[in-house]
Amino acid sequence: MTTLVKGTCLLNEPMARHTSYGIGGPAAAYVRPANREDLISVLDFAAENQVPIHIAGSGSNLLVADSGVDGIIVALNKTFTRLEFDGNRVYAEAGVILDHLVRMTIKRNLSGLENLIGIPGTLGGALIMNAGAFGSEISDHLLKVHLINIQGQEKTIPAENLTFGYRSSSFQPDEIIVAAEFKLVSGSPADLKQKQERAGSGRKSSQPLRFRSAGSVFKNPRPDLAAGYLIDKTGLKGTRVGDAEISTKHANFFINRGHATANDVVQLIKLTQAKVFEKFNIKLELEIKTLGFEPGTFRS
């Protein structure tokens, strides 16, 4: 396996090294393909040997089981990082860090993505989740997406042939985003700076940025009803299991205070779902992605 790719291939690699939580057991193989040809080689190997493939970006929205993950983790965040501008058009590979992309558009006085500044993770993950903030979503100015499916076939899909919703998209599990193109609009430098500062200060004041986390754990049940509000009203802020804690600053952030395990976080998730359902008759759905857990682990 290690001789198959031109990029990086690490065997039995602890996923705690590759997630913002700092949590997770070993992946059988952790691969950073050097380019598209390298990625297709990995996909061909996995298909021929019936090995599961899991796609990860920077691990900013991911909880990995303490027991680890069978199969191959493919990460694009260090190699698929090409970013090009042509007037108000932007071409960005899936491994580009979203915050970097936003800052580069602001630097060129291009408007459309500035409300997303500070959101962690890669462009690929942001598109799959349709990341958004302050009334904007990553899909708002999308032109097209370049994909490779599990069979190694490349295709380009116009934005109008995709469906986006709240923290959701129509991308299929067997599709790997490798790049995307956007068409932005010219913006006022003063207006862009104001939006940038508002988004940045809003996160600093409301989110526990000093601690390791995976961002919002649950989706908001409705646009006008925040998961954090419901968790707060159950009185769970500050609740701890091991070294995992429901943040006292933002109830929808579960933080790692140092040595939390995935099981610690799972127990907090289950407790929160149970308490919110008991009080409000609302089932909270996970926004974070999970890997390596037994089926039914998160069924409430």
Report residue 293 CA to chain centroid gap.
Answer: 18
DSSP letter for 122, please.
B
Judged by DSSP in three states, 224 sits in coil
Q: How far apart are CA 72 and CA 80, in angstroms?
A: 18
Q: How far apart are CA 51 and CA 45, in angstroms?
A: 8
- Work out the number of other CB atoms within 10 angstroms of the CB of residue 40: 17
Strand partners, 137: 132
Report residue 130 CA to chain centroid gap.
Answer: 10
Task: Provide the phi-psi class of 248: left if phi over 0, else alpha when psi is between -120 and 50, else beta.
Answer: alpha
Residues annotated catalytic, as ranges: 167, 216, 287
